[in-house]
């Protein structure tokens, strides 16, 4: 006799979820050690920034990781999901600088050592906040393996990779045009720059010819940089300017003469077809400058202010060489912020008559993805990774099919990005991060080593000095993230974890960081860890609001799962509701909260199915035991067959990253198939012998199939039912081999459903109150099928009386069941049925009469059509007969 707990009427996630999570942690269910006896399944959690909060993107992306890990664990694999966090150099430093500013302090007066200390304190205090959210959402990564990108082990891996790449000639130091963030006071890689459309002007400015001629008019969005112009470029074939090529024009106000040159990069159609060339402050101009060997004077400093005089870049500020050309005439702009300078210069040019036109113009501004400041392209001496030799193997791995993307098309995005890769600027001028393992002698000889002692040894040997200063720069955050799939497994040590769990099976992330992160893990994994870092990259859709807008605080449409969803719908409702909206081919997920509400009600519905099961007087047998087959009713066989189909569909869906399909399938089966039909059918008298066992069997398998998506309610139900094992987390995935299938009986029950639908519809139309029994006549020949008759009686709430007649298959006899009403209403009903059936028969006949259909369509399609016609015809006969009988 199974214990029969008193179950509360309503399922309460707020009580259940934290309680169950605590038991899971106590039982260490999420922890795994490498076990070569089982297939590995490992996912590296994309490390959230220590400054981050859980947002809806985590709700979708991270939930899919939790689902897959839980699913593969249930399949018996050696499944682990390794969590961690990213030090997020620039983002964290920005937060700290803001905090300091509130106290009226600055980073520089605090000093590097104290600042780093403060950052560590901050990380200890706030860095783990997101983990608490993850736990509340039910995520089950292996917390005992949590890593941080600045852990000693991971930092050592970073240093080793840097030193090795340097020794292999793949890291170099060079002066290039960089993306400078004047707010963060650091460079950014191209990938960290975002474009944003802004309204501005296209200013047309006349540069007079040196000989006093009218010269030409250039068009620019950045008039303030004209001070550092070194040339004007026109297209070589542009007849309008051919006479000026090789001659000089004169910059207004400052009066400096610069040459007119010809370059293919100029589009003669755009603007005036004449481009000012400022190599130190524009990427295209920089390239033109290189081609024509132009000087590259700088006029905007690292703080975004105009300088006068111009200066020639050098990494040591004290060695900057001033260029005195017309410095006095620029003095009025010296020290002005670049945007103020723009306004002043435009005004002055206008006053001078040099401003020819001022056209409203919409352009894309480069913004820092970290500080949102407008990026200033600047010349700077930085450290770079030579990417082409790394990109080649990463492309080959993709083209060979060693790495696949889901959906496939993102592979093409990945490949296109790697094909056009440019060198990677990895040095950052922030303090929080991995400091470059680079030292300089007083003569600026460079020493790269994995420790200061080693650096000194090398310096003594090569340069006869150990008077070294360390480069103050730190590494791009993505440099350490790029090592993540193997650094967290203990690389470069050959740990059991690395040997068994590398490569990872799946990497799940968003399409916005395919290049930023995925490509770098590929490049660095292939070079350092001996192979691809993961076999499959699943790109989860981005989350938007219900109208397709990006969620943002300023728009007021941002949804915080922790405050807006979990309290209302529970973690299960939140997870299930989000996943239900995920579709493989869609790039966006328009989040609609109603799905979470539905999911929460679904949990309650299942809970009540459990209450019903537990309230039955019959005994519940042990876990996963079905009654002998000969005792099973048609309804039993139907639900077991449906369960099997459900498990198969859900398995396929998880295997194919079709999380929305999995959730749909579970909802459909759990609510409609199981609760609305089977549970109701068990109330028939003939069901009592088998129903408790079948309900328990089906629920048990069903909650296991649903557990990866909704871990809590499924655990609570599973624990209440007879079960094997301590927790559903480590229970086994439902084995379809142990779920029998009865297609013929299932089809019979399908006919019962069809008939009951008809009878319910008739009841409604005939105005029979739900509480009243409906009178139904069944053919006498159906009477021996007791469970069918009882099912119809119970589901349609029908009072059964026999009539003489009925033949053919069980299905035919079920369809011959008829409701009883007054003649007028019955006639109406039959007339409508006849009309519907006649049109179906006509459609089918027309199709079969079409010779080319019969000749060219496949045989089974034609056969199926014939069977349909046959069915419809017989139903039509029956309806006509019934109508005739009434009339007589």
Name which of 23 and 284 has its Cβ closer to RNA.
284
Name which of 401 and 770 has its Cβ closer to RNA.
770
Interface with RNA in residues 346-375 (CB under 7 A) = 363-364
Judged by CB under 7 A, the residue of 123, 500, 511, 691 near RNA is: 511
Tokens of 430: 């922030």
Interface with RNA in residues 678-697 (CB under 7 A) = 679-680, 683
Minimum CB distance to RNA, residue 637 (Å)? 19
Judged by CB under 7 A, the residue of 351, 861, 884, 885 near RNA is: 861
**CA 609 – CA 720 distance, rounded (Å):** 12
Q: Judged by CB under 7 A, does residue 552 bind RNA?
A: no
Cβ(878)–Cβ(815) below 8 Å = yes
Interface with RNA in residues 609-648 (CB under 7 A) = 609, 611-612, 615
Interface with RNA in residues 213-232 (CB under 7 A) = 219-222
**CA 701 – CA 732 distance, rounded (Å):** 9
Name which of 210 and 680 has its Cβ closer to RNA.
680
Q: Judged by CB under 7 A, does residue 856 bind RNA?
A: yes
Contacts of 336 (CB under 8 A, 6+ apart): 305, 306, 344
The secondary structure element, H or E, covering residue 147 is strand 147-148
Q: Judged by CB under 7 A, does residue 857 bind RNA?
A: yes
Cβ(756)–Cβ(795) below 8 Å = yes
Sketch the per residue contact string, 385 through 414, with RNA: x for CB under 7 A, - otherwise.
Answer: ------------------------x--xx-
β partners of residue 590: 544
Cβ(250)–Cβ(256) below 8 Å = yes
Name which of 19 and 364 has its Cβ closer to RNA.
364
The secondary structure element, H or E, covering residue 725 is none
Judged by CB under 7 A, the residue of 86, 376, 745, 865 near RNA is: 865
Q: Are strands 469-470 and 216-220 parallel, antiparallel or unpaired?
A: unpaired
Name which of 321 and 546 has its Cβ closer to RNA.
546
Q: Judged by CB under 7 A, does residue 564 bind RNA?
A: no
Judged by CB under 7 A, the residue of 548, 556, 617, 743 near RNA is: 548
Largest Cα span, the chain: 121
Number of residues engaging RNA in binding (CB under 7 A) = 93
Q: Judged by CB under 7 A, does residue 519 bind RNA?
A: no
Judged by CB under 7 A, the residue of 125, 443, 823, 858 near RNA is: 858
Judged by CB under 7 A, the residue of 770, 784, 824, 849 near RNA is: 770
Q: How far is the CA of 13 from the CAs of 70, 484, 734, in angstroms?
A: 20, 35, 25
Question: In the block, which residue shows the tokens 């045989």?
Answer: 859
Cβ(880)–Cβ(888) below 8 Å = no
Minimum CB distance to RNA, residue 175 (Å)? 19
Q: DSSP alpha helices (H): ranges in 168-234?
A: none
Q: Judged by CB under 7 A, does residue 328 bind RNA?
A: no
Interface with RNA in residues 3-42 (CB under 7 A) = 9-11
Q: Judged by CB under 7 A, does residue 282 bind RNA?
A: yes
Find, among 12, 16, 5, the residue nearest to 614 by Cα: 5
Name which of 115 and 677 has its Cβ closer to RNA.
677
**CA 377 – CA 228 distance, rounded (Å):** 13
Q: What are residue 15's phi and psi, to 5 degrees?
A: -85, -45
Name which of 488 and 579 has its Cβ closer to RNA.
579
Query: In 3-state terms, the chain is what percent helix, strand and coil (to 5)?
Result: 50, 20, 35
Q: What are residue 44's phi and psi, to 5 degrees?
A: -90, 120
Tokens of 79: 């499944």
CA R_g for the chain: 37
Rounded to an integer, what is the distance from CA 58 to the centroid of its chain? Answer: 8
3-state secondary structure of 348: helix
Interface with RNA in residues 714-753 (CB under 7 A) = none
Name which of 331 and 861 has its Cβ closer to RNA.
861
Sketch the per residue contact string, 183 through 202, with RNA: x for CB under 7 A, - otherwise.
Answer: -------xx---x-------
Minimum CB distance to RNA, residue 698 (Å)? 13
Q: Which runs of E-coded beta strand occur in 451-554? A: 469-470, 474-475, 504-510, 534-540, 542-544
Of 37-45, 66-74, 720-728, 765-773, which part binds RNA (CB under 7 A)? 765-773
Find, among 667, 655, 673, 677, the residue nearest to 706 by Cα: 667
Sketch the per residue contact string, 132 through 161, with RNA: x for CB under 7 A, - otherwise.
Answer: ------------------------------
Judged by CB under 7 A, the residue of 2, 435, 608, 741 near RNA is: 608
Judged by CB under 7 A, the residue of 417, 458, 623, 736 near RNA is: 417
Sketch the per residue contact string, 441 through 480, with RNA: x for CB under 7 A, - otherwise.
Answer: ----------------------------------------
Name which of 123 and 511 has its Cβ closer to RNA.
511
Residue 119: Cβ within 10 Å count: 22
Name which of 49 and 272 has its Cβ closer to RNA.
272
Q: Helix 786-795 and helix 634-655: axis angle, to 10°?
A: 70
Of 296-304, 442-450, 783-791, 864-872, which part binds RNA (CB under 7 A)? 864-872
Judged by CB under 7 A, the residue of 303, 560, 648, 664 near RNA is: 664
The secondary structure element, H or E, covering residue 724 is none
Tokens of 76: 């018996």
Interface with RNA in residues 577-606 (CB under 7 A) = 581, 583, 585-588, 590, 592, 594-595, 598, 600-601, 604-605
**CA 640 – CA 722 distance, rounded (Å):** 18
Of 330-338, 522-530, 624-632, 850-858, which part binds RNA (CB under 7 A)? 850-858
Sketch the per residue contact string, 286 through 305, with RNA: x for CB under 7 A, - otherwise.
Answer: -x------------------
Interface with RNA in residues 233-272 (CB under 7 A) = 265-272
Find, among 340, 338, 324, the residue nearest to 183 by Cα: 338
Interface with RNA in residues 780-809 (CB under 7 A) = none
């Amino acid at each position: 006799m199974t214990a029969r707990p008193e179950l509360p009427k309503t399922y309460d996630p707020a009580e259940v979820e934290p309680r169950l999570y605590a038991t899971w942690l106590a039982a260490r269910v999420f922890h795994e050690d490498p076990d070569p006896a089982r297939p590995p399944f490992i996912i590296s959690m994309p490390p959230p920034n220590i400054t981050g909060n859980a947002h809806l993107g985590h709700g979708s992306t991270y939930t899919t990781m939790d689902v897959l890990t839980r699913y593969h664990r249930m399949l018996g694999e050696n499944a682990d999901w390794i969590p961690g966090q990213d030090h997020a150099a620039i983002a964290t430093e920005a937060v700290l600088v803001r905090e300091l500013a509130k106290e009226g302090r600055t980073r520089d007066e605090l000093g590097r050592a104290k600042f780093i200390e403060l950052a560590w304190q901050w990380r200890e205090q706030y860095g783990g906040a997101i983990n608490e959210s993850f736990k509340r959402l039910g995520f089950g990564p292996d917390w005992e393996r949590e890593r941080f990108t600045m852990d000693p082990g991971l930092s050592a891996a970073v240093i080793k990779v840097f030193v090795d790449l340097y020794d292999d000639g793949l890291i170099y130091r060079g002066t290039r045009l960089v993306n400078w963030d004047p707010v963060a006071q650091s460079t950014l890689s191209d990938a960290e720059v975002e474009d944003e459309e802004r309204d501005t002007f296209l200013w047309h400015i006349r540069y007079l010819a040196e000989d006093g001629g009218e010269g030409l008019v250039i068009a620019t969005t950045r008039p303030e940089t004209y001070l550092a112009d070194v040339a004007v470029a026109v297209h070589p074939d542009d007849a309008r300017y051919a006479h000026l090529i090789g001659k000089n024009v004169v910059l207004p106000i400052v009066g400096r003469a610069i040459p007119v040159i010809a370059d293919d990069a100029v589009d003669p159609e755009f603007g005036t077809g004449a481009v000012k060339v400022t190599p130190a402050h524009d990427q295209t101009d920089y390239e033109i400058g290189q081609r024509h060997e132009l000087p590259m004077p700088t006029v905007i400093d690292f703080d975004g202010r105009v300088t006068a005089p111009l200066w020639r870049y050098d990494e040591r500020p004290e060695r900057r060489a001033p260029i005195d050309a017309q410095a006095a005439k620029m003095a009025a702009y010296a020290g002005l912020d670049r945007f103020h300078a723009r306004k002043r210069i435009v005004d002055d040019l206008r006053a001078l008559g040099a401003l020819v036109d001022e056209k409203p113009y919409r352009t894309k501004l480069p913004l820092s993805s970290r500080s949102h400041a407008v990026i200033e392209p600047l010349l700077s001496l930085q450290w770079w990774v030579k990417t082409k030799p790394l990109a080649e193997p990463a492309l080959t791995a993709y083209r060979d099919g060693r790495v696949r993307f889901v959906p496939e098309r993102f592979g093409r995005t990945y490949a296109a990005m790697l094909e056009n890769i440019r060198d990677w600027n990895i040095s950052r001028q922030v303090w929080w991060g991995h400091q470059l393992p680079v030292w300089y002698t007083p003569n600026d000889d460079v020493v790269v080593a994995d420790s200061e002692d080693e650096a000194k040894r090398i310096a003594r040997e090569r340069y006869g000095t150990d008077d070294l200063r360390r480069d103050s720069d730190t590494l791009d955050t993505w440099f350490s993230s790029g090592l993540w799939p193997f650094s967290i497994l203990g690389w470069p040590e050959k740990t059991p974890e690395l040997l068994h769990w590398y490569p990872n099976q799946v990497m799940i992330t968003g399409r916005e960081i395919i290049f930023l992160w995925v490509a770098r893990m590929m490049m660095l994994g292939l070079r350092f860890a001996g192979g691809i870092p993961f076999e499959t990259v699943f790109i989860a859709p981005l989350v938007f609001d219900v109208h397709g807008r990006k969620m943002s605080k300023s728009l007021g449409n941002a949804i915080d799962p922790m405050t807006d969803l979990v309290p209302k719908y529970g973690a299960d409702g939140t997870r299930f509701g989000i996943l239900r909206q995920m579709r493989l081919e869609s790039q966006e997920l328009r989040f609609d909260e109603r799905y979470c509400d539905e999911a929460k009600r679904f949990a309650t519905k299942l809970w009540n199915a459990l209450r019903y099961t537990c309230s039955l007087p019959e005994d519940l047998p042990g876990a996963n035991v079905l009654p002998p087959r000969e005792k099973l009713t048609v309804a039993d066989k139907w639900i077991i067959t449906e369960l099997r189909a459900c498990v198969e569909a859900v398995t396929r869906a998880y295997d194919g990253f079709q999380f929305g399909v999995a959730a749909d399938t579970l909802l459909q089966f759990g609510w409609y198939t199981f609760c609305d039909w089977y549970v109701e059918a068990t109330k028939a008298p003939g069901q009592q012998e088998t129903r408790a066992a079948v309900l328990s069997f089906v629920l048990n398998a069903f909650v296991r199939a649903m557990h990866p998506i909704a871990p809590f309610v499924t655990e609570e139900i599973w624990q209440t039912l007879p079960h094997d094992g301590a927790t559903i987390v480590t229970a086994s995935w439902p084995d379809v081999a142990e779920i029998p299938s009865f297609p013929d009986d299932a089809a019979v029950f399908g006919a019962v459903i069809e008939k009951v639908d008809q009878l319910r519809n008739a009841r409604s139309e005939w105005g029979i109150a739900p509480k009243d029994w409906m009178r139904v006549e069944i053919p006498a020949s159906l009477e021996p099928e007791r469970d069918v008759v009882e099912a119809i009686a119970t589901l349609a709430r029908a009072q059964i009386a026999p009539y003489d007649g009925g033949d053919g298959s069980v299905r035919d006899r079920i369809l011959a069941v008829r409701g009883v009403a007054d003649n007028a209403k019955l006639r109406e009903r039959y007339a409508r049925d006849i009309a519907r059936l006649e049109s179906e028969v006509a459609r089918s006949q027309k199709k079969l009469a079409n010779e080319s259909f019969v000749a060219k369509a496949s045989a089974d399609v034609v056969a199926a059509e014939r069977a349909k016609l046959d069915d419809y015809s017989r139903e039509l006969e029956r309806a006509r007969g019934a109508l005739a009988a009434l009339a007589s």
